[in-house]
Amino acid sequence: MAEAEMQSADPYDTMSDEEFGAYVERLRGGRGRMVPVSLRMPAEMLRELRAEAEQLGFPYQTYLNGIVASRRHLPRAP
Does the predicted model carry a pTM greater than 0.85?
A: no
Answer yes or no: are the C-beta atoms of 53 and 63 closer than 8 Å: yes
Chain segment 53-73, per-residue pLDDT in tens: 999 999 999 899 888 888 877
The alpha carbon of residue 70 and the mean position of all alpha carbons in its chain are separated, in whole angstroms, by: 8
Query: What is the pLDDT averaged over residues 25-38?
Result: 73
Please report, for the chain, the start and end positions of each structural domain, with discontinuous segments joined by +.
Answer: 39-73
What mean pLDDT is reported for the chain? 79
How far apart are alpha carbons 18 and 70 in whole angstroms? 17
Residue 30: predicted pLDDT = 53
pLDDT at 5 over 60: no
